[in-house]
């Protein structure tokens, strides 16, 4: 199973995937890693691991449509089975979703549909929930919407800050993402982006 991974930041979840592949625990090939801005640690880590990388720098495009088209072309070039948004902080265009139907996977640091958006950890903490977590889902053109594949709950501790909670969520998120990718590799197309396909609970 070939994947392209998209990142915007530190890429610690991506690093866990790279390590799992390196340790022979995940039968997946990372065809390339792409970012929406230059200088991300995620791309640095990927290059250090000998992976192909590309940057489609949002700031260098005069229109959103041009950036959308460039991102789609860059990813499609690798003909991936799945595209994984791992801390990729951009919503992709409908054309992108159409090009990879049921094959665009996103990770989010909250229990969707609660707390979507860029500040899922902060928002959960501010609301005062006692349990939050992470979600891996098939993304559509909305903000953290689309059929849920799997989730893990994480307890909120009284002393938690956004940083401490996010770090604990990321530990759960890494295992969850690796497990979902392993399941997809074992049964490609099983879920096809339609949560009613198998009626399963992938906890």
Chain residues in the site for ligand GRF (CB under 6 A): 7, 9-14, 42, 86-87, 107-109, 170, 173
Q: How do 29-35 and 2-7 pair as beta strands?
A: parallel
CB closer to ligand GRF out of 136 and 184? 136
| Nearer to ligand GRF (CB atom), residue 118 or residue 186 | 118
Q: Which of 112, 88, 86, 84 minimizes the C-alpha distance to 195?
A: 112
Least distance in Å: CB of 109 to ligand GRF? Answer: 4
Gyration radius from the chain CA atoms: 16
Residue with smaller CB distance to ligand GRF, 33 or 71: 33
Q: Can you tell me the distance from the alpha carbon of 55 to that of 36, in angstroms, rounded to the nearest whole number?
A: 6
- Give the residue at shortest CB distance from ligand GRF: 87
Minimum distance of ligand GRF from residue 59's CB (angstroms): 19
Q: 52: which 2 tokens?
A: 């192909």
**In angstroms, what is the minimal distance from the CB of 43 to ligand GRF?**
11
- Which among 30, 32, 93, 22 has a CA at the least distance from the CA of 64? 93
Half-sphere exposure of 60 (CA within 13 A, CB side): 8
Of 44 and 183, nearer to ligand GRF (C-beta) is 44
- If the CB atoms of residues 69 and 182 are measured against ligand GRF, the closer one turns out to be 182
Distance between CA atoms of 178 and 184, rounded to whole angstroms?
Answer: 10
Q: Which one, of 50, 53, 39, 48, lies nearest residue 8 by Cα?
A: 39
Determine which one of 108, 137, 166, 202 is catalytic.
108
202 is catalytic: no
Output the smallest distance, CB 135 to ligand GRF, in A: 9
Q: Are 169 and 134 in contact (CB under 8 A)?
A: yes
- Cβ of residue 10: shortest distance to ligand GRF, in angstroms? 4
**C-alpha–C-alpha distance, residues 136 and 167, integer Å:** 17
| Active site residue ranges | 108
């Amino acid at each position: 199973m070939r994947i392209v991974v998209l990142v915007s930041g530190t890429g610690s979840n991506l690093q866990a995937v790279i390590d799992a592949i390196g340790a022979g625990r995940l039968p997946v090939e990372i065809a390339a890693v792409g970012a929406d801005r230059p200088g991300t640690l995620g791309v640095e880590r990927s290059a250090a691991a000998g992976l192909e990388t590309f940057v489609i720098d949002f700031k260098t495009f005069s229109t959103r449509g041009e950036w959308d088209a460039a991102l789609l072309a860059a990813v499609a070039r690798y003909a991936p089975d799945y595209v994984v948004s791992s801390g990729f902080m951009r919503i992709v265009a409908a054309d992108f979703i159409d090009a990879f139907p049921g094959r665009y996977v996103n990770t989010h640091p909250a229990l969707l549909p609660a707390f979507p958006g860029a500040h899922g950890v902060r928002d959960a903490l501010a609301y005062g929930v006692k349990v939050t977590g992470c979600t891996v889902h098939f993304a559509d053109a909305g903000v953290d919407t689309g059929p849920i594949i799997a989730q893990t709950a994480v307890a909120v501790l009284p002393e938690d800050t956004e940083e401490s909670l996010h770090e604990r969520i990321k530990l759960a998120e890494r295992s969850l993402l690796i497990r979902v990718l392993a399941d997809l590799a074992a049964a490609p197309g099983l879920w096809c982006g339609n949560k009613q396909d198998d009626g399963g609970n992938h906890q």
